[in-house]
Amino acid sequence: MEWLRNPSNEHRGTDLYRNISLLSIVGHGGMGKTTLLQHAYKDDITKDFDRKMWVCVSNNFDVKKVIADMLECFKNERPRLESLGALQRRLEEEVKSKKFLLVLDDIWEEDEDKDKIKWEDVLAPLSSGGFGSKIMVTTRTDAVALMFAKVIKKKKEIIKLEGLDEDECLQLLNSHAFAGVENHPDDHENLRVIARDIVKKLSRSPLAAKVIGGVLNDNLDERHWRTVLESNLLDQNSIHSILRLSYIVLPNHLQNCFAFCCMFPEDHEFDKDDLVRMWIALGFIHPSQGMTMEDIGGRYFDVLVKKALFDKVEDDYKMHDLIHESASKFFAQECGKLVDDEESSLKISETIRHLSVRTTNPNILRKIEKFKHLHSLFFFYKNSNEQDLCSGLIEIFKSLRSLRLLYMRAYDQLEMIPEEIRYLKHLRYFKTEGLEFTRLPRSLSNLYLLRYIILDTWMLIVPEDDFLPSDINNLSNLRYMKLPKNYNLWILGIRKLKSLQKLDMFYLRNEKGYRIDELKHLNDLCKLGINCLEYVKDVEEARNAQLCEKRRLTDLTLCWNTTYSRNTDLDENVLDNLQPPKCLRNLSIERYMGVRSAIWMNNVNLLSNLEKIDLSRCMEWETLPPFGQLPFLKNLKLHDMPKVKWLESKFNGNDKYRAFPLLENLYIEGLEALEDWFEAGVAAEDGCFFPCLIQLMLSNCPMLKELPSLPPKLKNLRICRIGWTTLNFCSNSNPIPLETLKVIDCPNITSLPLADEIARLAALTVLTIRNCHNLISLGRYREVETTNNCLLILSILRISDPSVLLMEPLRSIAFLKELSISLNYKLVSFPNEAEEWFLNIRSSLCKLKFKWLKSLQALPSFLESLSSLQELYIADVWMLRELPNLPPSLKRLIIIGDGHQRLKERYGEDGGSDRHKIAHIPQIDIRPR
């Protein structure tokens, strides 16, 4: 952390990589290198970096792939660039003059000279990065660390991980071995003695401690633990043999599932749901009374996670590279990999069940045909010749007739999967990535065992009207289908797909085969969206959908396509008869034009499991259901409902209860008639409104009288276009936990009582006050001792009018890291009194931003005195002609906007007359928007 904090760890000099520092984390596999850097990478200290990149490298790395991975970190999408030069230029543009942090995880040494040349190609674009940029590397060898230091001409700097102390290793093992055990630790004293002996054989490896802890957790029996202790695999003192023990002891059903995971490349991010689908397709999971195969597979996966064979990384899961390496060798007779090398195919048994192929060589396609017993094929192909790919696929389809799973990723356009896919009669799972079809093969609808069709692409090519085979509804075993995001799901006669579990959006038409009664027998649906409900002609047709019979339905979206004038009574009657089952958790309704709620919505018992409600553009709806009585509701969003007067009304004589007991997020926008939170006469137990509310966002509710008593857990409050003259901070809590307060576009507001509550607002770190033109007071400030308890201490302040800086308590602010002044088209200059305010916070202010200030002609001259200022950001301040003297501490100057041509002429690096005045700043970026 200290190394990350320091701008540079050595003399800058004039070399190519003078702005960059390098640190290598070295240690054997499983010692915690990646885990250590994950903690550092997520720490708040890294927020100071403009660009953050994390790339898993592993062995056989490809230069273009590594650069593409870096670029993907910025926009979460793969760059569609082919040549190395184009990728390098894009990366150079992205990091130019920006302070970046790059983690290169798990670098291997293969051929030192060859690798050095490849890494020079990867790192060359990064030389344009700003001062203070950092590269962190993890590797198993000192040689890689030395090679990297040579590439960027730095002194080798290493942190070496040698493993855990024995006591720490024991603590880690026990935490996994006794996970979920409720008994007192003393109840297993005999096992703890054995655990201490086991730890002595684990080579101080935290990975081994986690995995063997998972093995021990299976059975808290002394005989089982002694069997593990006395295992020959532990005695070999090898991390690979230790790991091998963890999957040898798996029961057969789990061993099959785990072995198959070796098919995926190192560092693959596993999608739990998708992996379970693959297991089902391969026959690893069998139905059980009362549970779906998906539920059973999910439990299998959770067991493997508990055994530390997978690690959770944000929303996905990864297999540790050492586990992957070890398991791939152990299950080599079942799972094989063919990576761009014809010779390696000779070493793979022809009876292998699962094969992954990565190649650019069309000749290798011919080699695949001999593996006639394959159950799964993962096919990654990159070649510009589409004809080679098509002819190769035809022969593969003809040969691999036992195939149950086909996953294809081709990096070049393939407009059509060959019709010969019809030969794959046993196919249950079909997935493509990156392929841009104009249509699916007609013969696909003859593969009657198909359960999953997943086309994972953005579909840049507009699909033809007959994209889907007309008889796709023949696939009666189909459980899940994912089509490109911009392709509507028009399936004629969807009623035949009785096994379907997810239907994100079903578009109704006024034609046979597209009406709502098509959903009648689709009772396995977990997720369902229905659009164009205006085509439902009567109550009987709505009732025929039989939504309440779908006992697994947890997610329901109901949409009408327009808000044009319709038969209001029909809308109400249709919604009455679209009653969902009690198990529903998420409900969205859009463009409903009824005046009242559906009958079933007023029955709290029928909605008791709801966790999320989203009502949008329901223009005539007047009285909301009793959402405040729902016991598990956590998220409520109401958008564009201009006739709703109260959030909660009186129902069934029950006018006293605990209102919204678990609600955490409340978003209200465009409720123009909203007068109050509760109808007159509604009272909550002990005055307890919103006891768990964390985030409240209010926008465009001009009639709303006031805030409720500030909820005791509220951390984020945003009000926008509200008609109040003041903000009521009345609260039952002491202190007020508010961390973020935003008041935007509220022209009537004259007072914000910050000063009145300053002693209770100690948690407030982010304050925004914008376009509140009549604000004249921030409360009554009382003269008190200037201690930290009585002064406002903010991290970020965003304002549009500098005059608020002269109002207490902002006038006496004690601490501020970032100030932004924006969206003021009348401001010409800063008041003279502002200088004293800026000098008060000069020792803490790090970032200063001026944005969208049309009339501002000059920045204040006292900026030079801001001794801690590191970044100055100017955007669209068009009248600005020159810069004042800037402080020596400044590290970054950014000027963005099309109207700054004069500033660019004066301060630009290509001959600007006043460039010398800012030459001391390491990172300067002057560019159009």
74-127 pLDDT per residue, tens: 877 777 777 889 899 999 988 888 889 999 998 887 677 788 888 999 999 999
Whether 630 shows a pLDDT value over 50: the answer reads yes
pLDDT of residue 701: 93
Whether 282 shows a pLDDT value over 90: the answer reads yes
Q: What is the mean pLDDT of residues 309-315?
A: 84
pLDDT of residue 50: 87
pLDDT of residue 653: 44
pLDDT of residue 678: 78
Q: Which residues contact 341 (CB under 8 A, 6 or more apart)?
A: none
3-state secondary structure of 474: helix
Whether 652 shows a pLDDT value over 50: the answer reads no
pLDDT of residue 786: 44
pLDDT of residue 496: 93
Whether 547 shows a pLDDT value over 60: the answer reads yes
Whether 248 shows a pLDDT value over 80: the answer reads yes
- Classify residue 214 as exposed, middle or buried by CB count within 10 Å of its CB (0-12, 13-18, 19+): buried
Token code pair at residue 653: 């004589």
Helix axes 206-217, 222-229, angle to 10 degrees: 150
Per-residue pLDDT band for 363 (boundaries 50, 70, 90) equals confident
Q: What is the mean pLDDT of residues 653-673?
A: 82
DSSP 730: -
Q: What is the mean pLDDT of residues 349-358?
A: 89
pLDDT of residue 784: 44
- Fold of the CATH domain 1-160: Rossmann fold (3.40.50)
pLDDT of residue 188: 83
Give Dmax (Cα) for the chain: 87
921 φψ region: left (φ > 0), alpha (ψ -120 to 50), beta (else): beta
pLDDT of residue 465: 64
CATH architecture of 164-249: Orthogonal Bundle (1.10)
pLDDT of residue 574: 95
Whether 906 shows a pLDDT value over 90: the answer reads no
pLDDT of residue 573: 94
* Number of residues in the chain: 929
Mean pLDDT taken over the chain: 87
Residue with tokens 């023949």: 474
The CA–CA distances, whole Å, from 296 to 253, 256, 284, 479, 505 equal 11, 14, 10, 15, 26
Distance CA 89, CA 431 (A): 33
**Percentage of the chain exceeding pLDDT 90:** 47
pLDDT of residue 299: 94
pLDDT of residue 787: 46
Whether 9 shows a pLDDT value over 80: the answer reads no
pLDDT of residue 734: 72
Going from N- to C-terminal start, the domains of the chain cover: 1-160, 164-249, 846-928
Per-residue pLDDT band for 733 (boundaries 50, 70, 90) equals low
Distance CA 239, CA 176 (A): 18
pTM of the complete model? 0.82
The DSSP string of 622-654 is -S---GGG-TT--EEEEES-TT--EEE--BTTB
Q: pLDDT higher for 674 or 411?
A: 674
526, 503 Cβ separation under 8 angstroms: no
Q: pLDDT higher for 777 or 315?
A: 777
Task: Give Cα 265 to chain centroid, integer Å.
Answer: 22
pLDDT of residue 459: 55
